Amino acid sequence: MNGVFDISGKRALVTGASSGLGEHFAQTLARAGAHVLVAARRVERLQSLVERIRENGGSAQALALDVCCADSVARAVQIASEPGLDIVVNNAGVSVARPVLEQTEEDWDVVLETNLKGSWRVASESARWMVKQGRPGSIVNIASILGERVAGGVVPYAVSKAGVLHMTRALALEFARYDIRVNALAPGYVSTELNADFLASESGKRLMSRIPQRRFADPQDLDGALLLLVSQAGRAITGTTLAVDGGHLISSL
Ligand code: NDP
């Protein structure tokens, strides 16, 4: 890849790379030339991703990471940062879908701990290394349109993603002086293996009818936004939220 979107020679950490969007983001960054550090708890899945990336001519390595554990984050970010870290995609995330009257403290804790505090841990620890090494960087927090609008059954998830959007702005303000950019990418409903059956169901069709573009995004639809935010093409972009949602956020009330 040439020009302002080129990230050859950069080192990129992708959390939650053992499935879904994280796996896709890792492959996209590797195709664009980055050495990708793929991180999650299920290391055997990461190893298979690393092999696939290498078979396609890319460069990658697997890192065990639990974003809910400060020691694990410190260890993984240290390995990722030696000899240097340029790009962080804070993608690890979980959801518990249940009406709020049935939700438990554990539901709230696991979602907020993973999505919000986990993203904060990874972003701040990575930035600490970037600052120490005098290295500019780009941090992309994977949020959701549920950080801006609400839906039934996902209170902790929506609150966690709203927190991620505000944290993005606050970190961007503090890190700008170190030439570290922080942005959020907010996908709408993306069709992946995990939700394909639901999206094809009658409920899925009703959901689709409320999206102005009348389609769910494919993981590939996120590539342009991701590459913009992590490359020189986005050098003046920080503290923003980029929604990739077929217009779902501007759906008519
Ligand atoms: P998946 O469930 O497929 O992937 C979630 C990833 O997060 C897994 O790789 C999992 O790996 C990792 N993860 C979960 N908990 C932890 C933890 N404690 N430490 C490290 N890694 C962890 O979900 P998606 O790919 O769909 O979602 C990825 C991100 O995109 C999430 O932040 C989600 O909120 C967001 N998103 C997704 C949308 C969609 O339509 N799919 C829409 C909008 C946003 P492991 O279990 O191996 O640790």
Ligand 1 atom closest to the CA of 145, numbered from 1: 43
Rounded CA-CA distance 194/176 in Å is 37
Contact 181, 237 (CB under 8 A): yes
Confidence of residue 131 (pLDDT cuts 50, 70, 90): very high
Backbone torsion region of residue 179, taken as left when φ is above 0, otherwise alpha when ψ lies between -120 and 50, otherwise beta: left
Residue 128 lies in a domain: yes
Average pLDDT over the chain, rounded to an integer: 97
Q: Which residue has its alpha carbon closest to ligand 1 atom 48?
A: 41
The pLDDT confidence band at residue 227, using thresholds 50, 70 and 90, is very high
Number of H helices, E strands in the chain: 9, 7
Residue 188: band (very low, low, confident or very high) from pLDDT cuts 50, 70, 90: very high
Q: Is the pLDDT of residue 1 over 70?
A: no
Mean pLDDT of 69-84: 98
Residue 42 alpha carbon, nearest atom of ligand 1: 47
Report pLDDT for 65. 99
Asked if the structure places residue 252 within a domain, the reply is no
Residue 253 lies in a domain: no
Q: How confident is the model at residue 247 (pLDDT cuts 50, 70, 90)?
A: very high
pLDDT band at 242 (very low <50, low <70, confident <90, very high): very high
Query: What pLDDT is recorded for position 41?
Result: 98
Mean pLDDT, residues 117-135: 98
For the annotated catalytic residues, the residue numbers are: 157
Q: What is the pLDDT of residue 245?
A: 98
Residue 248 lies in a domain: no
Give the contacts of 174 (CB within 8 A, at least 6 positions apart): none
pTM, to two decimals? 0.98
CA 236 to ligand 1 center in whole angstroms: 28
Three-state SS annotation for 18-82: CCHHHHHHHHHHHHCCCEEEEEECCHHHHHHHHHHHHHCCCEEEEEECCCCCHHHHHHHHHHHHC
Contacts of 26 (CB under 8 A, 6+ apart): 12, 14, 17, 36, 38, 49, 53, 60
Residue whose entry in the numeric block shows the structure tokens 């941090």: 139
Domain membership of residue 36 as a residue range: 3-243
Residue 11 lies in a domain: yes
**216 lies in some domain:** yes
CA of 234 to the centre of ligand 1 (A): 25
Residues 6 or more apart whose Cβ sits within 8 Å of residue 203: none
Give yes or no for a contact between 99 and 151, defined as CB atoms under 8 angstroms apart: no
Q: Is residue 172 part of a domain?
A: yes
Residues with CB under 6 A from ligand 1: 15-16, 18-22, 40-42, 65-68, 91-94, 114, 118, 142, 144, 187, 189-190, 192, 194
Residue 21 CA to ligand 1 centre (angstroms): 7
pLDDT at 222 over 70: yes
CA distance 25 to 75: 22
Q: What is the mean pLDDT of residues 121-149?
A: 98
> Considering the domain boundaries, does residue 206 fall inside one?
yes
From 186, 221, 218, select the one nearest 93 (Cα to Cα): 186
Mutating to test ligand 1, I would choose from 41, 88, 89, 218 the residue with most ligand atoms within 8 A of its C-beta, which is 41
- What's residue 2's pLDDT? 62
> What is the token pair recorded at 11?
């080192």
- Residues 28-53 have pLDDT tens digits of 999 999 999 999 999 999 999 999 99
| Banded pLDDT at 239 (limits 50, 70, 90) | very high
Instruction: Check which CATH number belongs to the domain holding 41 and give it.
Output: 3.40.50.720
- Tell me how far the alpha carbon of residue 139 lies from the centroid of ligand 1, in angstroms: 17
pLDDT, one tens digit per residue, over 138-178 is 999 999 999 999 999 999 999 999 999 999 999 999 999 99
Report the domain count for the chain.
Answer: 1
Tokens 């995990």, residue? 194
pLDDT tens readout for residues 191-217: 987 788 889 999 999 999 999 999 999
User: In a mutational test of the pocket of ligand 1, which residue from 48, 94, 249 has the highest number of ligand atoms less than 8 Å from its CB?
Assistant: 94
